[in-house]
Amino acid sequence: MGAKNETLADVIVVGGGVIGTAIAYALARQGIACLLLEGGTLGRGASEASAGIVSPPSSSAIPAERLELARRSFQAYPWLVAAVQEDSGLDADYRQWGELLVAETEDEVASLRELAAWQASAGFESEWVDGKAAREIEPLLPEGILGALLADEGGSLVVQRLVRALALAAVKRGARVVERAPVTGFEVEGERASAVRTPQGRYAAGQVVLAAGAWTGQLAGQLGRPLPTFPVKGQMTLVAGGMTMLRHILGRADGAGYLVPRTDGLVWAGSTKERGEWDTRVTPAGIARCLWLVERLAPELLEGELLSTGAGLRPGTPDDEPVIGPLPGYRNVWIAAGHYRTGVQLAPATADLVVQGILSGAPDPLLAPFSPHRFDQAP
């Protein structure tokens, strides 16, 4: 994994989060020579703090194309984690626990019933269960809840592990991964980014994919085409419940907070949504919010132990939709960023569509609503 000057890669992927590593693995599976450059260490961006939930979309108010991306990714995960484990020897801890979105008010009952019907009509195994049934399914739920949307196949994984596994699997299939190699600039020839620059040296590229999360807009700016990606900070905690084991993913009706079990018995709890915050400080207010979620969803866990806290910067965009497609004005630069709260959910389909687009020379029509063109302000 050491850096060399003047390396020529068919494709350079900038950013080693879940999106960049998924793309590197998808490229490597196609036999395409790929170099992944990560400015820090792999998976230390948004991906590190992520809950890693892979479940049906929690809102019906999304473009049909995003639903299709979510469906493809959802179906791909069991295959993907198995393939990555075979190639890398690393386990991403993927488990289909089932997800319960909990209603505490009549309004929430109405909206979750509607969401359950929409998810079922979209092909997911989702149904409405009353409060008694929900508590039988997950005994840690508090008394007094009115019911829950049960998404039976909803699952989660440990994102940091998936990122490492994807990177290692890509390397096993011929990719190069260089950490601590922040891209600081580009060399441009006409409509092509012909090389990227890092403090260690320059790397010549056939194609370039910018998958640098919240930082992608700034990198595109260095190519004269800034994009409005920005951070949405999320704080989380990890709780040990001792003998009190959570068996399902639990979520608030408004999608604003979750508890997620892990196979080591720990529970991820979070999170906050702080728009425009570039720092990853953990604040008392942020942790208070996480503990409030524990109290609302599984109060017995308050008797456990607070093991660790953390924060990550989700890659946000003005319309909350990802940015996936060729960068306007360039023939060889793709963008894959801005996945906000769904980067894990959408990583497999994003990677496949980026690789197909690079191979075919044109973006799939499914990517139309996510095109960087929608933010293009250049003349």
Ligand X SMILES: Cc1cc2nc3c(=O)[nH]c(=O)nc-3n(C[C@H](O)[C@H](O)[C@H](O)COP(=O)(O)OP(=O)(O)OC[C@H]3O[C@@H](n4cnc5c(N)ncnc54)[C@H](O)[C@@H]3O)c2cc1C
- Which stretches of the chain bind ligand X, using CB under 6 A? 14-20, 37-40, 44-47, 49-53, 182-183, 211-213, 215, 219, 234, 236, 270-271, 312, 314-315, 337, 339-345
Amino acid at 342: T
Of residues 14 and 27, the one with the C-beta less far from ligand X: 14
Cα–Cα distances (Å) from 221 to 83, 229, 372, in that order, read 36, 11, 12
- Give the β-pairing of 333-337 and 201-210: parallel
Of residues 135 and 341, the one with the C-beta less far from ligand X: 341
Least distance CB 268 / ligand X (angstroms) = 8
Of residues 67 and 146, the one with the C-beta less far from ligand X: 67
Of residues 176 and 314, the one with the C-beta less far from ligand X: 314
Q: How many CB atoms lie within 10 A of CB 275?
A: 10
Least distance CB 243 / ligand X (angstroms) = 26
Of residues 109 and 321, the one with the C-beta less far from ligand X: 321
CB 16 within 8 A of CB 43: yes
Least distance CB 303 / ligand X (angstroms) = 24
- Least Cα distance to 152 among 175, 176, 128, 130 occurs for 128
- Least Cα distance to 64 among 136, 118, 11, 132 occurs for 118
Least distance CB 46 / ligand X (angstroms) = 4
Least distance CB 124 / ligand X (angstroms) = 15
Least distance CB 29 / ligand X (angstroms) = 18
**Residue 98: what are its φ and ψ, rounded to 5°?**
95, 140
Of residues 56 and 213, the one with the C-beta less far from ligand X: 213
Of residues 49 and 103, the one with the C-beta less far from ligand X: 49
Least distance CB 210 / ligand X (angstroms) = 9
Of residues 49 and 246, the one with the C-beta less far from ligand X: 49
CB 69 within 8 A of CB 366: yes
Least distance CB 45 / ligand X (angstroms) = 2
Least distance CB 106 / ligand X (angstroms) = 27
Of residues 40 and 242, the one with the C-beta less far from ligand X: 40
Q: How many CB atoms lie within 10 A of CB 294?
A: 23
